[in-house]
Structure 1
Amino acid sequence: MKHIIYLFLLSIGLVVHCHHLPGHHNDQETDENPAEHQHQHLEEGQDNKTAKCHKIAPSNADFAFTLYRQIAADGAGRNVFFSPVSISTCMAMLSLGAKSETQSQIHKGLAFNLSEIEEKEIHEGFQHLIHMLNRPKNKAEINIGNALFIEESLKVLPKFLEDAKTLYKSEGFSSNFQNATLAEKQINDYVKNKTHGKIPQAVDGLDPSTVMVLLNYIFFKGFWEHPFNTRSIREEDFFVNANTTVKVNLMFQNGHYKYLHDDDLFCTVVEIPYKGDASAFFILPDEGKMQQVEDGLMKGHLSKWGKAFQYKQLDVYIPKFSLSKSYDVKVLLQRLGVTNVFDQNADLSGIVEEGDLRVSKAIHKAVVDVHESGTEAAAVTVIQITRMSAHRPPPTVFRCDKPFLFLICDKMTNSILFFGKVMNPTEK
């Protein structure tokens, strides 16, 4: 009988269950493209390690847009919020213990083509990405990490533990899953602490046959480079659809922002920077074009926008909103071809020699709070194994009073940290 691994994505987390235990982690002064700026550094040889995280960035972006479309298709008319980098990091860490077709499916599901990138480069890319996102000098606070909670009697292969620690900076903890209440508290306290209280309950109802929980957490706190004035906040209408209008607190700011209208994608894009190396991209579809935008978004757009942005004086209106979402990632990954790891064909022999393991559950939880000072967001993924002047033209208005998309990106690593859609800001 296959031992089971549960994945809980909080921004991302993995939980593993076992039926039979076998034995015994704005800048407004320049309009240069951040990506081009970083590539210049690479060419100059100033930091050749940066190439490692940049090598996996296109696949991570591809995975982010593909996963978004899966989530949006399941909840037409609903808010969306998740951390693609959390989910991909967690699944990549799991792939350390996967073999044969199981491993191949995970790589393909994460949009990695092994004819273009070696497995070693994938893991080194994530190793460097984790290091870069946790850089202490960034004024935008980003904390990302991984953890393994292991049943005391489970004999995990030393190589898997060492690779998880070295490549994914995973912490390891001994757990007694026979006492499910105590194990849940141990995991939930850990995630609550790492996400600064944003996600107080990562797991609920752990199966006593669980033998391992793998999780990834991510926490983001950024202050707008130019905060919105609290006195400018007004209660305004937000047009959810043709039949529904709700009242929201609409923030206002006048200033110079990177702005463009993408004629091919039928949307307007504005970059609103945080202090430090992060930015939020607000994507406002043209009237009636949300579906076209969702269907057409792909990894090349961020680079395209970076080259086409122009600084423009704008009147920016953004609603204050808070979202809290949870997703069954197992279903989403299965649609992307990641199937073996969830059934009797699972080969996770890189984790334990004796006994079969499979992932039975994958859950992702993510929360965000966007307000006049900035943004706070967090997510976790868990896997369970069971065996902006005078004499100038009038400003352009960018008014998000209808459904819009938004991305929170780290510019140093070209990474999409969080991806969301606001259909109704009053729905939590």
Structure 2
Amino acid sequence: MTNRKTLITTFGFLGLCLLIWFIPSSKIQVFSILADAQALQEVSPKIFFPNKSLGKDKLVNAQMKFGFKLFSTLARQNSEQNIAVSPVSLALALSMLYNGASGTTRQEMSDVLGIKGVNLNAFNHANKTLEKSLDTNDYRGQLTIANSLWTRQGFSFRYQFLKANQEYYQAQITNLNFESSESVGIINRWVKDKTLGKIPQIIEQISNEDVLFLVNAIYFKGVWQIEFDPHLTTQQPFYLSNDRVIKFPLMSREGKYRYFETSDFQAVSLPYTGERFSLEIFLPRPDKNLKDLVSQLTVGQWKKWMGQFREQQGKLKLPRFSLSNEIDMEKALISLGMSTIFEQSSANFSKLTSRQVYVNRMKHKTLVEINEKGTQSAVTSSIRARMTSLFLPEEQFTMIVNRPFLCTIRDHKTNAIIFIGVVRKPN
């Protein structure tokens, strides 16, 4: 049999992450996708695992640290674009892949993911617990997570790798005839179904080198606890960073919000029905810039900010917008120190297969929609903190989001950040 390169492809969405593996010197492509809801048979070799344990809370902190570092890197590398990232989707996809890594590849992944020295079984168990805690579909909103592995018929994978992904990540494992033209449609239909139609397609074709697609799909939908009145939405100026001004629909509402402000920015938290999930908006002062705000993102600074929100009467104007992008993750991950997974001759995934494979591509695709009813999203992936002075807000605040801003969606039950993005030009 002729040697073929092995490719892994991963798609991550606020909802979807996909990995595709290819053969000797095969490639792995990784795609991460986020969609935001509308506001309405081999024997595994003996493996040694360190003894350091990991609980759900520590895992959330590790994901948060990884997410902030990756997001800040992407924001610097794409300084003129809107950026949207789902830390949960990206971390889950890489966690599934981590079960197949060895040697330097595994070490680099553990360093970047913030799990150095952690027992692999404990790591997988913490991910399983977090997934179970995040999954919800009731009056409080909908957040669903689904994982899958699509394997090439005739290609052998380590039993332990498949077992771990099935046991801890509830991954659906399907052995497909990749030579059949129907395989692309089968995978895309799974993605479309898991993102409720928000992401209809993740792959266009399957090459002869593709041996595995690893997919993480996340779908979120939340309805505002108090909706905006569409009759109050009006076209107003939005000031871009290049001194251009565009007209854009701004929603308007007056009431009580969780709010705080500093000398650098204003921040408001908008709860979804049930108050389990919320959207946070961070608006830099007119004389400040978004880059400096993003540079402050660390786990410690984030927790401090979350503790400063207080209920306050105010007037809010917020763009009605959708945020959609598709980002290649290789450059950002390499800059963080995860480079070997992309190297054809050096990548070590010996716990995934006995063949030589590497990650050829990693993409993160996001779709977020914010309107008068709520948010809908789907996904198919150390920064220095600067202290600022906290102002005591006046009896009533006014916050007009008419310039570039930072936004997040977080889960109050687990403290996980489902989505983080910068909006430089609303669409």
Q: Which of the five TM-score ranges fits, normalised by the shorter chain?
A: 0.7 to 0.9
Corresponding residue number in structure 1 for 2:268: 270
Picking from 72, 82, 103, the partner of 1:69 is: 72
Cα pair distance change 1:138/1:85, threshold 3 Å = farther
Question: Superposed, which structure 2 residues align to 1:297-376 within 5 Å?
Answer: 297-343=297-343, 344-352=345-353, 354-376=354-376
User: Structure 1 residue 178: deviation in Å?
Assistant: 2.2
Check 1:12–1:20 CA distance in 2 against 1; reply closer, same or farther (3 A cut): closer
> 2:425 is paired with a residue of what secondary structure?
coil
CA distance in 1, matches of 2:284, 2:395: 22
Instruction: Output one character per residue of 1:369-415: Cα deviation in whole Å (capped at 9) or x when no partner.
Output: 1000000001115xxxxxxxxxxx86310110000010001111111
Is the 1:228–1:252 contact (alpha carbons within 8 Å) kept by the matching residues of 2? Answer: yes
Kept in 2, the 8 Å contact 1:7–1:330? The answer is no
Partner of 1:212: 212
Structure 1: which amino acid aligns with 2:278? S
Q: CA deviation at 1:241?
A: 2.7
Structure 1 counterpart SS, 2:136: coil
What's the CA shift string for 1:42-81, capped at 9, x where partnerless?
xxxxxxxxx8321211111111111111111122121111
Which amino acid letter does the alignment assign opposite residue 63 of structure 1? F
| Counterparts of 2:219 and 2:137, CA distance in 1 | 14
| Aligned-partner residue type, residue 96 of structure 1 | N
Deviation at 1:242, TM superposition (A): 5.0
Q: Pairwise mapping of residues 16-415 of structure 1 onto structure 2 (< 5 A)?
A: 16-19=21-24, 52-114=55-117, 117-137=118-138, 139-179=140-180, 181-241=181-241, 243-263=243-263, 266-276=264-274, 277-287=276-286, 288-343=288-343, 344-352=345-353, 354-380=354-380, 395-415=396-416
What one-letter code is carried by the residue in structure 2 that aligns with 1:325? N
Q: Which position in structure 1 is the counterpart of 2:419?
A: 418
CA RMSD across the alignment: 1.9
Contact 2:312 2:395 in 1 (8 A): no
Q: Distance in 1 between matches of 2:114 and 2:284?
A: 26
Unpaired segments ≥5 residues, structure 2: 31-53, 382-393
Measure how far apart 1:182 and its partner are: 2.4
Offset of residue 138 of structure 1: 6.1
Using the alignment, how far apart are the partners of 2:236 and 2:133 within structure 1? 40
CA distance in 1 between counterparts of 2:232 and 2:137 reads: 33
**Helix, strand or coil for the counterpart of 2:380?**
strand
How far apart are the structure 2 equivalents of 1:224 and 1:205?
39
> What amino acid does structure 2 have at the position aligned with 1:123?
N
> C-alpha separation between the residues in 2 aligned to 1:74 and 1:206?
30
**Amino acid of the residue matched to residue 245 of structure 1?**
V
1:281-338 per-position Cα deviation (integer Å, ceiling 9, x unaligned): 1000122332211111111233212322211101011100011111111222111111
**Shift, 1:19, TM fit:** 4.9
Are the counterparts in 2 of residues 13 and 87 from structure 1 also a CA contact under 8 Å? no
Identity %: 27
Q: Distance in 2 between matches of 1:78 and 1:136?
A: 33
Describe the shift of the 1:159–1:138 C-alpha distance in structure 2 as closer, same or farther (beyond 3 A).
farther
2:225 is paired with a residue whose SS is coil
- Structure 2 residue identity aligned to 1:278: F
3-state DSSP class of the match of 1:62?
A: helix
Offset at residue 421 of structure 1 (A): 0.8
Alpha carbons of structure 1 residues 19 and 101: separation in structure 2 relative to 1, 3 Å: closer
1: CA distance, partners of 2:242 / 2:356: 53
- Unpaired runs of 5+ residues, structure 1, are 26-50, 382-392
Equivalent residue letter for 1:280: L
Deviations 1:121-177 (A, max 9, x none): 322121111111113446220011210000011122221111101111111111122
Aligned length: 381
TM score, norm. by length of structure 2: 0.85
Matched, 1:5 2:8: yes
Contact 1:238–1:246 under 8 Å retained in 2: yes
For the structure 1 residues 155 and 260, does the alpha-carbon distance in structure 2 shift closer, same or farther, using more than 3 Å as the test? same
Structure 1 distance, partners of 2:278, 2:302, is 12
Distance 2:170 2:23 in 1: 25
**Cα distance in structure 1, aligned partners of 2:201 and 2:297:** 33
